[in-house]
Amino acid sequence: MSLSASELNVGDSRTEVVVDNLTRTQLVQYAGASGDYNPLHTDDLFTREVAGYPGVFAHGMLTMGLTGRVITDWVGDGRLQNFGVRFVNQVWPGDTLTTTAEVTEIRDTDDGPVADFSITTVNQSDKPVVTGTASALLTP
Amino acid sequence: MVAERVPVEATHIMMFARSIGDPNPIYYDADYAASTEPGRIIAPPTYIQASAQFDEDYPLRPKIGEPWFGSGATPTGTPPRTDGAKDSEDDGDKKSGGGNGGTLHAEQHFTYHRHIGPGDVLTPTVKPGETWEKQSRRGGKLLFSESVTEFHNQDGELMITSRGVGVRTEKPVEQDPS
């Protein structure tokens, strides 16, 4: 179901846990599906001893993918016009991530009403891991 | 460094949706999808990143018969070069082998002109992007590079514009205590 402009107001927000206790296996799953086999995400030995990080960490695009569900569940399938994020902190196995999306503007366009959202995903320490924006076409 | 053509397939969409923990049936159930506004299975918003699967030269996938920079018997299968050149000087890609902090993903932006689904065959076109530098406390000197890719379908319609920004760090990014 798509979302109607009359149901939505600037300032409306949704907050959801998008992953609870992120597993290394999910990083493997994402590597396989996305095709990004960078060892930084699945190979602890390489990541510690060669790359110099404390251990494997999540693909930024996995965090973006987890985050996107909050918007698509809200606005409905096939309604998204834009989705963009900055990766501001790394995500580690064991992290629990919570995404908040908030309506920042509702504007009229030639295609119909469009809602703009601000998006922030934080970890269990309330530290932002991605921040971004999205826009979606509404029904009048 | 981009795929020549990207066939969009139902099984791949299902696997991708599972990997990002999204149970929405529009990503795997054709009967359900037929009852929705798009009328067919569509791909999750970030799925197009998996077009890397179809890039013959994608540097982050092991290639048959070639050394891989991840671990095996040793922590990396491609030790740092000893002839004085840095890995980055002949690769210029996203490999994160010895000697520097490697390249991380800094930003990703998608514009959806239409929504892709199984059966679509996309042709990517890469547009030149900008590069810039910044100094950071946690990662040393940062070199940002942008790339813009347009994906057209088999009918020549523009489906998705993807703008990615990578950052090459001078050293591994320091972790703030948290």
Interface test mutation site (partner B, options A77, A87, A125, max chain B beta carbons within 10 A): A77
Any idea how long chain B is? 178
Q: What is the pLDDT of residues B76-123, one digit of tens each?
A: 998 765 554 444 433 433 344 434 456 788 999 999 999 999 999 999
B residues 120..149 contacting A (CB < 8 A): none
Q: Domains in chain B, ordered, with CATH?
A: 6-169 (3.10.129.10)
At residue B17, what is the residue type? A
**Tokens describing residue B144:** 């940002």
A residues 55..74 contacting B (CB < 8 A): 59-62, 64-66, 68-69, 71-73
Per-residue pLDDT, B139: 78
ipTM value of the model? 0.97
Question: 3-state DSSP call for residue A3?
Answer: coil
Q: Do B110 and A19 touch (CB under 8 A)?
A: no
Q: Do A35 and B26 touch (CB under 8 A)?
A: no
Residue ranges per structural domain of chain A: 5-22+60-137, 23-57
A5-22+60-137 is classed CATH 3.10.129.10: yes
Q: What is the pLDDT of residues B10-37, one digit of tens each?
A: 999 999 999 999 999 999 999 999 999 9
Per-residue pLDDT, B92: 37
**Tokens describing residue B113:** 């002109």
**Tokens describing residue B85:** 């050149």
**Planar angle of CA B85, B91, B94, nearest 5 degrees:** 125
Report CA-CA distances (Å) from A54 to A40, A113, B47. 10, 46, 29
Which DSSP string do the residues of A15-40 spell out, in sequence order? EEEEESS--HHHHHHHHHHH----GG
Using a CB-CB cut-off of 8 Å, the residues of chain A touching B115 are 78, 80
Q: Does A17 touch chain B (CB under 8 A)?
A: no
Task: Identify the DSSP state of A4.
Answer: B
Per-residue pLDDT, B87: 45
